[in-house]
Amino acid sequence: MKPLFSRRRIISSLALGATVALLPLAQAQTAPVKSVAVTAIVDHPALDAVRKGVEDELKAQGWQAGKNLKYQYQSAQGNSATAGQIARKFIGDKADVIVAIATPSAQAAVVATSSVPVVFTAVTDPVAAKLVKDAKPSGTNVTGVSDRLPLAPQIDLMQKIVPGAKRIGMVYSPGEVNSTIIVKELKEALAQRGMSLHEAAAPRTVDIPSAAKSLIGKIDLMYTTTDNNVVSAYESMARLAADAKLPLVASDTGSVARGAIAALGMNYYDMGRQTGKIVVRILKGEKPGAIAFEVGRNTTLEINAKAAREQGVTLSPALLKEGKVVVP
């Protein structure tokens, strides 16, 4: 009888072990699928890099589309009314988190819901955009990551590229809060150095070439910010700058390969990873209102030597050594 008892004991132990081993798998299969809905006001390299960073961070932390994550993305194609429609659709889809890339999309999402968590990103001034009241945890359904850059290093870069520059030109979208704020602050910062800002409004993307042309002959250098309309039509700005031998400097590193001489800007992919970390915290149960918004951490100086030659600029060896030449 002893051998029979031993066999029964072995079989029981194996069965128990198999049951215990299957428990994590069963728990994983029954765990609720979370939904993350991402939207951007428009598609362009900087905002695309943010989205890629968010997606990669979600994957890195074990959230995989089609398994434990329902993921969707929609672009508003530069239309604020469409941004509002997308936000309302996401709410109807019962998204657990809405990731809103750029100010107009973030504003649309925040107007549309006071309950679904909204994580904004690539927003220059979330306070002025009325997404949050201040830099403290909002106590609401909103948090995120800002791409605000200090202006002093931007002006330093302009002067390194064109040492005698006094008149700075800027095309901007009057309907984009980020841009109107930068116009005001840059004008004040330039005045402190004996420089002036000459701005031209471009309400629509199609208005950008004519707005830029209106500044030719009046400025020493053209500066572009992260204005989404301007960035989405950057090639037209670059062609105009080359034809007019007008130095073009950006604050978005994605614009360097597209024709800017240089840019000291945020690494938007890294910002996406930073944003993704906040999204994961919310998926795990943290309240967005308990998370203060963050500012992007990594900036890089990128240089397009070819664009400099085309725009009639000779870059100093010191500047070439300081930055990363992405187009020789």
pLDDT per position as a tens digit, 126-174: 999 999 999 999 999 999 999 999 999 999 999 999 999 999 999 999 9
Torsion of CA 156, 159, 161, 166, to 10 degrees: 140
Q: Check pLDDT > 50 for residue 62.
A: yes
The residue extents of the domains of the chain are 32-148+267-298, 151-266+300-327
Contact present, 220 and 196 (Cβ < 8 Å): no
Eight-class DSSP state of 133? S
For residue 37, what are the β-bridge partners?
72, 98
Listed in sequence order, the residues at least 6 apart from 26 whose beta carbon sits closer than 8 Å to its beta carbon are none
Can you tell me the distance from the alpha carbon of 228 to that of 217, in angstroms, rounded to the nearest whole number?
A: 25
Listed in sequence order, the residues at least 6 apart from 142 whose beta carbon sits closer than 8 Å to its beta carbon are 110, 117, 118, 120, 131, 132, 288, 289
Can you tell me the distance from the alpha carbon of 292 to that of 103, in angstroms, rounded to the nearest whole number?
A: 17
> Do the domains 151-266+300-327 and 32-148+267-298 match in fold?
yes
CA-based radius of gyration for the chain:
25
Domain 151-266+300-327 has CATH 3.40.50.2300: yes
Q: Check pLDDT > 50 for residue 7.
A: no
- Coil, strand or helix: which one is 263? strand
Can you tell me the distance from the alpha carbon of 244 to that of 285, in angstroms, rounded to the nearest whole number?
A: 55
**pLDDT score at 20:** 45
- pLDDT confidence bin for 5, thresholds 50/70/90: very low
Average pLDDT (6-22) is 46
C-alpha torsion sign, points 122, 232, 46, 159: negative
Read off the tokens for 126: 């979330």
Please write the tens of the pLDDT for every residue from 208-265: 999 999 999 999 999 999 999 999 999 999 999 999 999 999 999 999 999 999 999 9
**pLDDT score at 31:** 67
Contact present, 250 and 262 (Cβ < 8 Å): yes
Read off the tokens for 253: 């590193």
Please write the tens of the pLDDT for every residue from 257-300: 999 999 999 999 999 999 999 999 999 999 999 999 999 998 99
Query: Within 10 Å of residue 110's Cβ, how many Cβ atoms?
Result: 22
- pLDDT confidence bin for 11, thresholds 50/70/90: very low
Q: Check pLDDT > 60 for residue 326.
A: yes
Read off the tokens for 248: 């073009």
For the chain, helix, strand, coil in percent to 5 are: 45, 20, 35
Query: Within 10 Å of residue 207's Cβ, how many Cβ atoms?
Result: 16
**pLDDT score at 30:** 55
Average pLDDT (104-132) is 97
Q: Please name the fold of domain 32-148+267-298.
A: Rossmann fold (3.40.50)
Can you tell me the distance from the alpha carbon of 51 to that of 119, in angstroms, rounded to the nearest whole number?
A: 12
Contact present, 116 and 98 (Cβ < 8 Å): yes
Query: What is the H or E stretch that residue 181 is in?
Result: helix 177-191
